[in-house]
């Protein structure tokens, strides 16, 4: 039996430290420009998770001295109407960053809308130009917030990545895909395996991971038999259990005792994502 308790990767603390460092940049911009940094958020529909996350993003912006505006369109709004709003924001010099909350009504709708955002205001980094820059290791682009936050968290705890095997479960545009690019970049040099819903022998692959990052959106997908001793586990999941409590993609009580490090849910990746969004908004301000 493993009696060594795992170290918790405390996203709340590391996010707080990142935000404290960022505060002076917010103040310098406000002083220099005579206005606060400003970002615009948009969603289509009332998906409860999207409503919740947008509120959290706006609340953090306000706390940091960043102004935010929100547009909400009902489900059924033609893409062109939403595109027009984004086009107005693209041309508005007082708006530094733009974020469209996913999910949108369909994959095609989402692609169309993400492509409409000006790449220089795309603080989520989902525009093909920014994805392309990430793939080309061009540092002038925006890096998606959750992958950037995961890397920042692992760096804060000196988790070795160079030459180590990182297994990612999930290939989404928002997490798995850009995270794979980031971790295999020459700045990180990890050996990356990206698994997804069609992967065979998932447990066999995950047991070879030095670092296992789970972004599948499936509660308790990762069970104790899927993790070797002393693995570093990062849980990106934000699921609701039968009682409505937040839970991750990892069976935390069973898996944690096997790990060297593990993120809690909540308090792990979530706060890092929001902190990196604030950083990207400030990066968008610097583009001017």
Could you say which of 101, 185, 206, 283 contacts ligand GUN (CB under 6 A)? 101
What separation in angstroms does the CA of 179 have from each of 116, 249, 272?
23, 17, 14
Give the strand order in the sheet containing 7-8. 7-8, 259-262, 231-235, 211-214, 165-169, 191-195
Task: Write b or e for each residue in 13-42: b if 16 or more Cβ atoms lie within 10 A of its Cβ, otherwise e.
Answer: ebbeebbeebeebbeebbeeeeebbbbbbb
Q: Which of 85, 96, 122, 124 binds ligand GUN (CB under 6 A)?
A: 124
Stretch that binds ligand GUN, among 63-71, 86-94, 95-103, 246-254 (CB under 6 A): 95-103
Q: Does 206 bind ligand GUN (CB under 6 A)?
A: no
Name which of 132, 143, 176 is nearest 277 in CA terms. 143
In the region spanning residues 138 to 157, those forming contacts with ligand GUN, defined by CB under 6 A, are 145-146
Indicate the residue among 26 and 123 with the shorter CB distance to ligand GUN.
Answer: 123
Tell me, yes or no, if 12 is annotated catalytic: no
Active-site residue, 218 included: no
- Cα-based distances in Å from 237 to 128, 174, 221: 25, 13, 10
Residue 71, CA atoms < 13 Å, CB-side half-sphere: 16
Told to judge if 238 belongs to the known catalytic residues of this protein, a careful annotator would answer no
Is residue 213 near ligand GUN by the rule CB under 6 A? no
Pick from 99, 116, 183, 194 the residue near ligand GUN by CB under 6 A.
99
C-beta nearest to ligand GUN: residue: 102
Q: Which candidate in 79, 101, 238, 283 is catalytic?
A: 101
Nearer to ligand GUN among residue 185 and residue 238 (C-beta) = 238
What secondary structure letter does DSSP report for 203? Answer: H
Using CB under 6 A, list all residues that contact ligand GUN.
99-102, 124, 145-146, 174, 273
Catalytic sites, residue numbers = 57, 101, 124
């Amino acid at each position: 039996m493993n009696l060594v308790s795992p170290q918790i990767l405390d996203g709340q603390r590391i996010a707080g430290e990142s935000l404290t460092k960022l505060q002076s940049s917010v103040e310098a911009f406000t002083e220099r420009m005579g206005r606060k940094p400003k970002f615009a958020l948009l969603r289509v529909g009332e998906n409860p998770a999207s409503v919740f996350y947008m509120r959290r993003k706006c609340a953090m912006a306000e706390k940091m001295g960043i102004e935010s505006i929100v547009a909400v369109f009902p489900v059924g709004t033609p893409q062109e109407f939403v595109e027009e709003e984004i086009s107005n924001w693209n041309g508005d010099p007082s708006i530094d960053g733009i974020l469209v909350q996913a999910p949108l009504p369909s994959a095609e709708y989402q692609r169309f809308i993400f492509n409409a955002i000006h790449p220089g205001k795309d603080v989520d980094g989902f525009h093909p130009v920014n994805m392309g820059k990430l793939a080309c290791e061009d540092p002038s682009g925006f890096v998606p917030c959750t992958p950037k936050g995961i890397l920042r968290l692992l760096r804060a705890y000196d988790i070795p990545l160079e030459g180590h095997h990182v297994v990612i479960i999930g290939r989404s545009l928002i997490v798995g895909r850009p995270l794979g690019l980031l971790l295999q970049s020459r700045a990180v040099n990890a050996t990356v395996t990206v698994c997804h819903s069609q992967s065979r022998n998932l447990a066999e692959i995950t047991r070879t991971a030095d670092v296992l990052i789970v972004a599948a959106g499936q509660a308790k997908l990762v069970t104790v038999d899927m993790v070797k001793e002393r693995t570093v586990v990062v849980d990106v999941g934000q699921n609701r259990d039968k009682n409505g409590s937040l839970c991750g993609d990892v069976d935390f009580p069973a898996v944690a005792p096997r790990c060297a490090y593990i993120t809690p849910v909540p308090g792990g990746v979530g706060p890092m994502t929001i902190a990196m969004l604030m950083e990207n908004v400030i990066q968008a301000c610097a583009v001017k």
